[in-house]
């Protein structure tokens, strides 16, 4: 459903007048790109039936430490396999908005690197990225493909130590320097654009407290009681909304 013209006008005006806009990109954006909702009831159940453990157990730091063969079996099949799906329209438009100076920083907890793969440059991955991996012993870096193409536990070519994906597993803490950097970005924003998540989500609870502005814009498909905390709410798909917005702004510029 198309947005009312007055809503588009207001949204465009806010972003055009913003000196620094920070985006919090949530789970909804990867779902719109076609990635599986691993915590969805049916998918979560299927994973537990297939592997004998829950998603949280399989992606736990202790599981990586003690059950590496099963950890990597799950990791290759369920986490890395969807990477064949390219970034969706929403991420492509964020890249365009970044190029035009409408977005200064993107922050996400998602680990699939979709903003960067769409071409976005200013991205903070709070929980790391599946595209970065290293040897915990000697520090040698490895690409995602090294793990994807392995058939057993991927070992370091230098010291034969099992490789560690550079993502935050359950039971691990986010690097304090990464949180600090994200908090600093949010604190200097005059517009905070929250996309594809609830304001009660972990991402928002972690960062919105640092926001000192008065233009918190929420774009997410499903209404939630926490929507009242936003200054402007659009309950619609993120990708469709951003497409309408960028089309409107281009037309306005050319008229």
Could you say which of 167, 193, 227 is where a domain stops? 167
| CATH number where 103 lies | 3.40.50.1220
Residues 203, 219 within the same domain: yes
Residues 22, 140 within the same domain: no
Whether 127 sits among the annotated catalytic residues: the reply is yes
Tell me how far apart the alpha carbons of residues 184 and 207 are, in angstroms, rounded to a whole number: 10
Q: Which domain holds residue 143?
A: 39-84+132-167
Residues 73, 121 within the same domain: no
Q: H helices within 21-143, ranges in order?
A: 27-32, 41-51, 55-58, 61-66, 68-74, 89-99, 114-117
Tell me how far apart the alpha carbons of residues 252 and 255 are, in angstroms, rounded to a whole number: 5
**Residue 1: per-residue pLDDT:** 65
Please give the model's pTM, rounded to 2 decimal places: 0.95
Residues 145, 92 within the same domain: no
Residues 186, 214 within the same domain: yes
Which phi-psi region, left, alpha or beta, contains residue 35 (left: φ > 0; alpha: ψ -120 to 50)? beta
Residues 94, 150 within the same domain: no
**Residue 192: per-residue pLDDT:** 98
Q: How does DSSP classify residue 51?
A: H
**Residue 204: per-residue pLDDT:** 97
Q: How many domains does the chain fold into?
A: 2
Could you say which of 140, 167, 194 is where a domain stops? 167
Residues 94, 11 within the same domain: yes
Residues 1, 109 within the same domain: yes
Residues 155, 222 within the same domain: no
The three-point CA angle 69-74-78 to 5° equals: 155
| CATH number where 145 lies | 3.30.1600.10
Residues 69, 185 within the same domain: no
The stretches in the chain having pLDDT less than 50 are none
Residues 151, 235 within the same domain: no
Q: Catalytic pick from 60, 127, 134, 137?
A: 127
Residues 180, 64 within the same domain: no
Contact 159, 74 (CB under 8 A): no
């Amino acid at each position: 459903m198309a947005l009312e013209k007055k809503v588009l006008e207001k949204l465009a005006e806010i972003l055009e007048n913003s000196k620094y806009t920070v985006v919090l990109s949530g789970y909804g954006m990867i779902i719109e790109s076609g990635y599986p909702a691993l915590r969805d009831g049916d998918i979560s159940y299927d994973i537990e039936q297939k592997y004998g453990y829950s998603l949280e157990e399989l992606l736990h730091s202790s599981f990586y430490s003690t059950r590496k063969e099963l950890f990597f079996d799950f990791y290759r099949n369920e986490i890395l396999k969807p990477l064949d799906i390219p970034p969706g329209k929403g991420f492509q438009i964020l890249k365009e908005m970044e190029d035009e100076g409408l977005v200064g920083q993107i922050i996400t907890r998602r680990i699939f690197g979709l903003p960067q793969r769409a071409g976005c440059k200013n991205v903070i991955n709070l929980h790391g990225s599946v595209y970065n991996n290293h040897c915990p012993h000697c520090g040698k870096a490895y690409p995602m493909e090294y793990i994807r193409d392995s058939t057993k536990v991927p070992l370091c070519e230098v010291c034969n130590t099992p490789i560690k994906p550079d993502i935050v597993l359950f039971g691990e803490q986010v690097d304090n320097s990464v949180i600090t950097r994200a908090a600093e970005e949010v604190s200097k924003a005059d517009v905070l654009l929250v996309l594809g998540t609830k304001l009660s989500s972990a991402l928002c609870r972690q960062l919105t407290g640092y926001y000192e502005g008065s233009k918190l814009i929420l774009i997410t498909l499903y209404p939630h009681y926490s929507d009242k905390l936003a200054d402007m709410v659009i309950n619609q798909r993120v990708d469709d909304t951003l497409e309408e917005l960028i089309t409107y702004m281009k037309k306005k510029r050319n008229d």
